[in-house]
């Protein structure tokens, strides 16, 4: 082949190897570290604070009553926690059922609904006698000891803690893939980060804050989507550490069809792109001047491609360039580099996927993986404007596999 064509191919290979290699190496380091994570012990004899369990919901009539009833069943002193449902655009019948329960109901209505608006509106009406704010999605089910564990962790000195959000349903192949994806992120961005002394990533639900701190923080948040990303950057810049409780479980409904998957990922990717690289220079300055590696790492994390797209891209380009290099009898170094990149990327997923997922259902779900990659690519392409509008993810009343 013409030497000019070979040079162009080699330049493309080098660029792809550098980009994909750095992205893969980043998650590999934390995936390996996650293998050595050990859950810290926090005393259950700690001072019990009053907790506000806030559940904002938009048109969540199918699930909210069931979730609210379950939230009232915590193994925590009943006079020390309130379940607060923030109802946006619920049906009158749902409102009536919620009013019959021993909880606080706050009805809200906005021209453009967002979770941050709902939370801020609720805290305007709530008393300030709470010590802890717990944030749930309208489909979330807490394990019975969730509040006890959250309280112990915050009483030990943390201002922010992320619980272990995990699947409550794996009834479709898409749900299995979504559940596996959640656990991969838990391993890399929560267990792996905490094992190396860095902050856990927030997810947007199943998380808790010191109440006054959260109220003040949220009053400055203007995000339409991805409010958790905005507050994450704020608190890390200010030097706060985010804890992670792997044994404090919150069961979350996993998406069950392609359209819901697309809408949800479009919203998530839009939020990530909004904050992608935002303040990268400033975070590097914070790193150099103040040693704030946590904040710098978070800005690097926003530049990471989605794991499923990274896996698909590495598999695709490894296949293409291994075949091309063999055909061209190219420098063997390129061949070895692509194979090494592929093996490192695969090892990330082997390290990160829990043993419980190594079963027939997961093997069956893997057949849907190429479709999931294409959906993620479609979501990435269509992120334009998604962070400027509220994209609602509809939930059902599924309550399977919570293990309770």
What is the C-alpha to C-alpha distance for residues 159 and 241, in angstroms, rounded to an integer?
8
Structure tokens given for 303 = 């530049």
Per domain, the residue ranges of the chain are: 3-36+279-388, 51-171+195-255
DSSP state of 329: T
Could you list the beta-strand ranges (E) of 144-240. 160-167, 207-210
Integer Cα distance of 218 and 210 in angstroms: 12
What is the sign of the dihedral through the CA atoms of 16, 22, 27 and 31?
positive
- pLDDT tens for 139-171 read 999 999 999 999 999 999 999 999 999 999 888
Q: Can you give the pTM of this predicted structure?
A: 0.87
Closest CA to 331 of 4, 7, 2: 7
Each residue's pLDDT tens digit, 283-298 = 899 999 999 999 999 9
CB 176, CB 362: distance < 8 Å:
yes
The C-alpha angle with vertex 166 and arms to 161 and 168, in degrees rounded to 5, equals 135
pLDDT for residue 274: 59
Strand 242-252 to 141-142 pairing: antiparallel
HSE-CB for 383 with a 13 A CA cutoff: 20
Ramachandran class of 118: left when φ > 0, alpha when ψ lies in -120 to 50, beta otherwise: alpha
For the chain, residues with pLDDT lower than 70 are 1-2, 223-225, 255-278, 371-373, 375-404
CA pair distance 74, 134, nearest whole angstrom: 13
- Of residues 162, 403, 194, the one with CA closest to residue 297: 194
What CATH superfamily classification does 51-171+195-255 receive? Spore Coat Polysaccharide Biosynthesis Protein SpsA; Chain A (3.90.550.10)
262: how many CB neighbours lie within 10 A of its CB? 17
pLDDT of 398 reads: 45
Report how far residue 149's alpha carbon sits from residue 292's, in angstroms, rounded to the nearest whole number. Answer: 28
Dihedral sign of CA atoms 140, 106, 266, 24 in order: negative
């Amino acid at each position: 082949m013409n030497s000019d064509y070979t040079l162009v191919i080699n330049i493309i290979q080098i660029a792809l190897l550098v980009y994909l290699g750095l992205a893969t190496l980043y998650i590999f380091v934390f995936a390996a570290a996650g293998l050595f994570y050990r859950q810290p012990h926090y005393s259950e004899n700690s001072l019990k604070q009053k907790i506000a369990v806030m559940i904002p919901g938009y048109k969540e009539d199918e699930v909210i009553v069931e979730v609210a009833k379950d939230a009232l069943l915590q193994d925590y002193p009943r006079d020390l926690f309130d379940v607060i449902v923030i109802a946006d655009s619920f049906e009158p019948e749902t409102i009536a059922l919620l009013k019959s329960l021993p909880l606080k109901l706050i009805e809200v209505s906005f021209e453009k609904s967002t979770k941050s608006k709902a939370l801020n509106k609720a805290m305007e009406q709530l008393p300030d006698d709470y010590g802890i704010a717990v944030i749930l999605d309208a489909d979330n089910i807490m394990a019975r000891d969730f509040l006890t564990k959250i309280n112990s962790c915050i009483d030990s000195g943390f201002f922010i803690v992320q619980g272990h959000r995990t699947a409550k349903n794996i009834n479709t192949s898409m749900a299995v893939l979504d559940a596996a994806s959640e656990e991969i992120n838990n391993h890399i961005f929560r267990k792996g980060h905490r094992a190396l002394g860095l902050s856990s990533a927030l997810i947007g639900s199943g998380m808790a804050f010191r109440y006054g701190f959260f109220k003040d923080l949220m009053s400055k948040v203007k995000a339409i989507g991805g409010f958790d990303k905005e507050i994450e950057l704020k608190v890390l810049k200010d030097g706060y550490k985010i804890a992670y409780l792997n044994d404090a479980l919150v069961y979350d409904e996993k998406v069950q069809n392609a359209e819901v998957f697309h809408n949800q990922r479009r919203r998530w990717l839009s939020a990530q792109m909004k904050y992608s690289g935002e303040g990268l220079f400033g975070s590097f300055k914070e790193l150099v001047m103040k040693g704030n590696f946590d904040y710098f790492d978070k800005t690097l994390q926003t530049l990471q491609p989605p794991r499923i797209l990274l896996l698909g891209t590495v598999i695709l380009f490894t296949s293409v360039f291994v075949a091309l290099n063999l055909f061209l009898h190219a420098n063997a170094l390129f061949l070895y580099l692509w194979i090494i990149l592929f093996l490192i990327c695969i090892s990330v997923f082997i390290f990160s996927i829990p043993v419980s997922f190594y079963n027939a259902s997961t093997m069956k779900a893997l057949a849907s993986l190429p479709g999931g990659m294409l959906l993620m690519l479609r979501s990435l392409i269509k992120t334009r404007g998604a962070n400027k509008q509220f994209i609602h993810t509809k939930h059902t009343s599924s309550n399977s596999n919570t293990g309770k």
